Amino acid sequence: MATEESPPREGKGQEVMVQQTMPEPAAPAVPALSTPPAVSTVRAVPDGDRRLADSVQRHLSKLVVAPSFAAVLLFVYGFILWTAYISFTRSRMLPVYGFDGIDAYVRLWSMTRWNVAIGNLLLFGSLFILISLMLGIILAVLLDQRVRAEGALRTIYLYPMALSFIVTGTAWKWILNPDIGIQAFVRGLGFETFRFDWIINDQMAVYTLVIAGVWQASGFVMALFLAALRGVDQEIVKAAYLDGASLPRIYWGIVLPSIRPVFLSAIVILAHLAIKSFDLVVALTGGGPGYASDLPATFMYEMTFRRNQIAIGAASAMMMLATVMAVIVPYLYSELRGGRRVQ
Amino acid sequence: MATLTIDRVRKRYHHQEVLKGIDLDLNDGEFLVLLGPSGCGKSTLLNLIAGLDEITDGEIRIDGRVVNGVHPKDRDIAMVFQSYALYPTMSVARNIGFGLEMRKVPKAEREAAVRKVAALLQIEHLLERKPAQLSGGQRQRVAMGRALVRDPKVFLFDEPLSNLDARLRIDMRTEIKKLHQRLGSTIVYVTHDQIEAMTLATRIAIMKEGVVQQFAPPQEIYERPANMYVAGFVGSPPMNFLPAVVAVEKDRLGLFVKCEAHGAWSDVFLPLPPQVPVQLGNGLAEHVGREVVLGLRPEHITRAGSDLASGQVVVEASVGVLEPTGADTLAYIGLGGQDTVARVKPADAPRTGETASFALDLGSASLFEPKSGARI
Amino acid sequence: MSSSLSALPRTHTPGARALRIGLYLMLALFALYYITPLLVLVATAFKTPDEIRTGSLLSLPLAPTLDAWRTAWNQACIGADCRGLAPYFWNSVAIAVPGVLLSTALGALNGFALTKFRFRGANVVFGLMLFGSFLPFQLVLLPMAQTLGFLGMAGTTQGLVLVHVVYGLAFTTLFFRNYYVSLPDELVKAAIIDGAGFVQIFTRIILPMSPPIIVVTVIWQFTQIWNDFLFGASFAAGGAQPITVALNNLVNTTTGVKQYNVDMAGALIAGLPTLIVYVLAGRYFIRGLTAGSVKG
């Protein structure tokens, strides 16, 4: 801030303020018009001083970004390299720095638990993305029908995003618990043989993650699509309507295709959420029963902080990075290219 | 109020040269219009004068002082932008006074200056409003007020009227002209509108692809365009270009031009005025037998009356489409192997399809080299 | 924001009426799906343990009581510590407030510098920072733990502030950059000619135009930091834990009798701040956030 306040300007003596007062014109009708309005300031600043101030100004922009950029370089890229290196060592409880080749990766991929976690990620990820997307689009289209109380409904659909899963997981666990939740509730209605015990069933536990994950994220997808729907060119819609297209056809044939970029954004965001999912699992199933509902995120945490298998934890983190990169890099590439075209 | 010199100015972006050596010299109180199509480099030149962009080569001098590398705030210039660039969170008064505030002018003085400018532009009643509450024309005035209040040496206008509707644009054009006449300030004004350029400028610099094509007062640009590009850019409808051959017939220097009359094309000899006017230049004789381009503005092709002014010759030509514009009627006639526009009085307007006689004012014509397009 | 159909006339045939009734029915069913977990939380938090045992999942409390809330706030035992969630709540405040303010301020400055005072390589810098918003944080857990230890900030709330600021930068910079890109450059040119410098242009002209994006960023950062569990669980020791970690410990305590009503009240206490922020300012958040993410 200080650099800005003091462009080296010499003392007041040199900064001559010339109040331009023209002689009063004879005709009083045009006094304001014939007078050059205002004040002019004539300065005699040595060019050298000014250049210094200007060059500080010119570099201020870089100086402002520099700390953040340095932090990102260190805390993001530096740390990725660090983790990458650790994944090639024999580190267990504490990091050790002797190079050990790809041993950690070999051991990682030979662990049943890791393979379960990866399988779960594929299953959970694809269902989570697909259902959230469909639900989000349906909700957005429904809300787009000029409904009453749209604001209230939007708030209800969206609030899960504002809450931590550690919070709502408490309720979900209760709802999914066969002894006190839905199963007990339906049995209480007289359906004695009703079964809904996925959360304690090692074949089905991962699907409870889908139920709760969709519950939390689909409102966000809805908001994305709703905003995009509202940006659609009204003229196109009008033209389609005049051509006699039905409402479903207008949406399916005109409106949704015109917001194609949002599909891409939504899929990328959802995929990213799926890969990162951690507190969802911790709060709902704890990865259980056993490790039946583990995801890579919980696997990594378990290995690193509970099992003293730092190298394997690092290797699993690198695999997560690879997965994210596979999704993100093509997306970023297309986005940045798109951005350049606009400029 | 000051002189402005632009000396061999070049600007390169990466490896593309967008200004290829611009030389312009403005006297105190001149109104320079930079005219050209988009991409000709006129806005780049304005940004260089303002100091918003760095010059690659050459010099810019304001009042004799070289301002290369001088920060915009220290150049003593003010600028009016196409989008007005009013600060949306500030009131009109603060918008106008912001430049003075930044220069640490005492509050009372500042307020007095703002009031004076507001009175000059008749926007006193708007001073407390925010830009969003103003109409396009009012925003335009505020933008001008912001420039005027500092009483700078040079005013820079970057297409200031292009966001206004047609009617308002004409009004504001007149007001800018009045302001210039009252204040006598030095102004550089960028536009692609040739009518703005003609009405406002003391001198126009017509630019194309980073090169100044002609730098002259409006009337001279109109009457003696330096090349076919300038001739075609200024004037509406634009100048007619007729392919012609220079020849000597019966000791008279003249031009053969194709002409359509009674349904057939033929070569017609148009004798140049006996005293070849100055415009047509000397040394035309050496072009005898060669092809040239005859440039004739529509108003120099009229219906032939009973008495001809000196320099006028009469031709018969068939009439195609007629376009009444109110004051005049534009007639497309078969001349020069193409449709050529004549400007005739509505009362004299011929009928479509007939062959009528037209008077060509060769004394006001321009001749161009067909290949280079340069004036002969 | 108006419907994408707002240019079309409304129809009022009987068929259209039936369709609209169906539409509202579906909207209501979806609303039930989203609201049920919250209803369960609220209803249970006001019940007595007896009522939970005898009543059903969705029944409303017959005799609402604040006992569970009081217990959760300052009596519940988390591990051996029986001071309730209150100290952890204040830990979260101590992490979230400076974390939000710092990361938002830095994001605003970065966004301004990267769009309005562009320098050579600004796009590369932005691209590299943007990647941080997609980073799976598992990649940095280990080195961050080491670094915090090295800085003497291991297990402290200050350490968590640092972590949240660093990893929030990508988002805050992205938000501000996308917003500032849409402001006309001529404003900055005009201000430069008016004699304003980098800091003055930022504070006097750009910042006063920024409330919409500040709201978005503050809400985003606040929910992210307040709801964080991974960093809190990884880096905070006992007394410095944020409320999410404490809540998880409370809920997953296996010793003693399970007090569901206390769990639910605790969950609501932990969720209340973000819920309030969201209900009060969520509208602006959605508007800005969707604009930002659609643009990328």
Indicate the pairing of strand A39-42 with strand B312-324. unpaired
The pTM is what?
0.83
B299 in the same domain as B212: no
Chain C residues contacting B via beta carbons under 8 Å:
184, 186-187, 189-196, 200, 204-205, 208-209
User: How much is the pLDDT for A337?
Assistant: 66
Residues 41-100, chain B, touching C (beta carbon < 8 A): 50, 52, 72-73, 77-79, 81-83, 85, 87-90, 98-99
Rounded to a whole number of angstroms, the distance from the CA of B147 to the nearest CA of chain A is 10
Evaluate whether residue B374 is within a structural domain: no
- Tell me the two tokens of residue C55: 């009543």
∠ CA C221-C223-C227, nearest 5°, is 120
CB spacing of A305 vs C109 below 8 angstroms: no
Checking if the pLDDT of C262 tops 90, the result is no
Whether residue B98 lies inside any domain: the answer is yes
Q: Quick one: average pLDDT of A195-200? A: 78
Q: A265-302 pLDDT, tens per residue?
A: 888 888 888 888 888 888 888 777 777 788 888 898 88
Asked if the C-beta of A308 comes within 8 angstroms of chain C's C-beta atoms, the answer is: no
Q: Which residue of A has its CA nearest to B71?
A: A54
Residue C41, pLDDT above cutoff 90: no
Highest mean pLDDT among B366-370, C49-53, C100-104, C113-117: C100-104
Residues of C with CB below 8 A from B79's CB?
189-190, 193
| B165 and B294 housed in the same domain | no
Encode pLDDT of B144-192 as tens digits: 999 999 889 999 999 999 888 888 889 889 989 998 998 889 999 999 9
What confidence score (pLDDT) does residue A22 get? 35
pLDDT computed for residue A102 by the predictor = 82
Beta bridge partners of B265: B260
In B, what residues contact A, Cβ < 8 A?
A: 69-71, 74, 76, 100, 103, 105, 109-110, 113, 116-117, 119-120, 148-152, 182-183
pLDDT of residue B26: 93
Q: Is A54 left (phi over 0), alpha (psi -120 to 50) or beta?
A: alpha
Q: What is the mean pLDDT of chain B?
A: 89
Q: What's the pLDDT score for residue A12?
A: 35
Asked whether residue C66 carries a pLDDT value surpassing 80, the answer given is yes
Residue range C172-220, pLDDT digits in tens: 998 898 889 888 889 999 999 998 888 999 999 999 999 888 988 998 8
Yes or no: is domain C86-295 CATH 1.10.510.10? Answer: no
Q: How far apart are CA C149 and CA A140, in angstroms?
A: 47
Tell me the CA end-to-end span of chain C in Å, nearest whole number.
20
What is the spatial distance between Cα C239 and Cα B309, in angstroms, rounded to a whole number?
A: 105
Q: Which helix (H) or strand (E) holds B197?
A: helix B194-200
Interface touch C190/B73, C-beta < 8 Å: no
- A28: closest CA of chain C, how far (Å): 32
Between strands A39-42 and B4-13, the pairing is unpaired
Q: Can you give the CATH number for the domain in which B298 is found?
A: 2.40.50.140
Q: For residue B77, what is the nearest residue in chain C, using CA coordinates? A: C193
Q: What is the pLDDT of residues C165-174, one digit of tens each?
A: 999 998 899 8
Report residue A104's pLDDT band, with 50, 70 and 90 as the boundaries: confident
Tell me how far apart the alpha carbons of residues C272 and C269 are, in angstroms, rounded to a whole number: 5
Domain parsing of chain C, residue ranges: 14-65, 86-295
Question: Average pLDDT of A301-317?
Answer: 87
Among partner residues A37, A47, A53, which is closest to B151 by beta-carbon distance?
A: A37
> Over the Cα atoms of chain B, what is R_g?
25
| pLDDT > 70 fraction of chain A, expressed in percent and rounded | 80
| B105:A37 CB<8 A | no
Distance CA(C225)–CA(B328), nearest Å, equals 74
Q: Tell me, what CATH number does B128's domain have?
A: 3.40.50.300
In whole angstroms, what is the distance from residue A120 CA to residue A112 CA? 12
Nearest Cα residue in chain B from A34? B182
Tell me the shortest Cα–Cα distance from A34 to chain B, in angstroms: 6
The minimal CB distance from B85 to the residues C184, C200, C204 is found for C184
Q: How far off is chain A from C62, nearest CA to CA, in Å?
A: 18
Looking at residue C19, what is its pLDDT? 83
Range of the domain at B200: 4-232
Structure tokens at A159: 């609030």
Say whether both B225 and B277 belong to one domain: no
Please report residues of B whose CB lies closer than 8 A to that of A54: 69, 71
Closest CA of chain A from C267, distance in Å: 5
**Residue B195: what residue type?**
I
Picking from C78, C97, C123, the residue whose alpha carbon sits closest to that of residue C243 is C78
End residue of a domain, out of B179, B209, B232: B232
Beta strands B57-62 and B4-13: pairing type?
A: antiparallel
Tell me the pLDDT tens digit for each residue of A222-259: 988 888 888 777 788 888 888 877 888 888 888 888 88
Residues of B in contact with C184 (CB under 8 A): 83, 85
DSSP assignment of B240-308 equals EEEEEEEEEETTEEEEEEEEEETTEEEEEEEEPPSS--GGG-S-GGGGTTSEEEEEE-GGGEEE--SSP
Strand blocks (E) in chain B: 4-13, 16-26, 31-35, 57-62, 65-66, 77-80, 154-158, 186-191, 203-208, 211-216, 240-249, 252-261, 264-271, 291-296, 301-303, 312-324, 329-335, 338-344, 355-361, 366-368
B31, B95: one domain: yes
Q: Hey, are the CB atoms on A38 and B74 less than 8 Å from each other?
A: no
- Facing residue for C264 by CB, picked from A170, A241, A338: A170
The answer to whether residues B339 and B359 belong to one domain is: yes
Residue B376 covered by a domain: no
Name the residue facing B120 among A32, A40, A57 (closest C-beta): A32
Q: Is residue B60 part of a domain?
A: yes
Q: How far is residue A71's CA from residue A84's CA, in Å, rounded to a whole number?
A: 19
Q: Which chains touch C (3 or more CB pairs under 8 A)?
A: A, B
Question: B216 by DSSP, 3-state: which?
Answer: strand
> Has residue B222 got a pLDDT over 80?
yes
Nearest-angstrom CA–CA distance, A143 and A150: 7
- The answer on B252 and B221 residing in a single domain is no
Which residues in chain B have Cβ-Cβ distances shorter than 8 Å to A36? 151, 183
Q: What is the pLDDT of residue C263?
A: 87
Q: Has residue C223 got a pLDDT over 70?
A: yes
Bond into B237 cis (ω within 30): yes
Nearest by Cα to A286 from A190, A182, A176, A180 = A176
A198 to chain C, minimum CA–CA distance in Å?
A: 17
- Look at chain B and report how many structural domains it folds into: 2
Helix (H, G, I), strand (E, B) or coil at C57: coil
Residue-wise pLDDT tens digits, C112-131: 999 888 888 888 888 888 88
Look at B73 and C193 and tell me if their CB atoms are within 8 Å. Answer: yes
Is B103 in Cβ contact with A38 (below 8 Å)? no
B375 lies in some domain: no
Count the neighbouring beta carbons within 10 Å of the beta carbon of residue A19.
10
Residue B351 forms part of a structural domain? yes
Nearest chain B residue to A19 by CA distance is B109
User: Could you tell me the two tokens for B251?
Assistant: 């000791």
Contact A45 B74 (CB under 8 A): yes
Q: Distance (Å, rounded) from C-alpha B136 to C-alpha A270?
A: 44
Q: Tell me which chain B residues have a C-beta less than 8 angstroms from the C-beta of C180.
A: none
Q: What percent of chain B has pLDDT over 90?
A: 54
**Do B184 and B318 lie in a common domain?**
no
Q: In the predicted model, is pLDDT for residue A42 greater than 70?
A: no
Band (pLDDT 50/70/90 cuts) for residue A34 is: very low
Whether ipTM tops 0.95, in short, is no
Phi, psi of B17 (to 5 degrees): -90, 115
Q: Output the CA angle B108-B113-B115, nearest 5 degrees.
A: 95
Q: Are B255 and B200 within one domain? A: no
Decide: helix, strand or coil at residue B326: coil
The helix (run of H) or strand (run of E) holding residue A206 is: helix A205-230
Residues of B in contact with C204 (CB under 8 A): 87, 98
Verify whether the Cβ–Cβ distance A41 to B105 is below 8 Å: yes
pLDDT at B262 over 50: yes
Confidence of residue A338 (pLDDT cuts 50, 70, 90): low
Contact, A108 vs A299, CB < 8 A?
A: no
- Where do the domains of chain A lie, and which CATH numbers do they carry? 2-86 (no CATH), 112-342 (1.10.3720.10)
- Residue B301 covered by a domain: yes
Grade residue A2 by pLDDT with cuts at 50, 70 and 90.
very low
Read off the pLDDT of each residue in B116-132 and give the average, rounded to a whole number: 92
CA R_g for chain C: 24
Give, for B341, the enclosing helix (H) or strand (E).
strand B338-344
How high is the pLDDT of residue B304? 83
- Tell me the C-alpha to C-alpha distance, in Å, between residue C47 and each of B189, B367, C65: 77, 100, 6
Q: Does A45 touch chain B (CB under 8 A)?
A: yes
Looking at the fold, whether B246 and B158 belong to one and the same domain comes out as no
What would the pLDDT profile of B68-113 be if each residue is shown by its tens digit?
888 888 889 999 999 899 999 999 999 999 999 998 999 999 999 9
Find chain C residues with C-beta within 8 A of B72's C-beta. 192-193
How many Cβ pairs closer than 8 A exist between chain A and C?
A: 313
At residue A16, the pLDDT reads 35
Contacts of A58 (CB under 8 A, 6+ apart): none
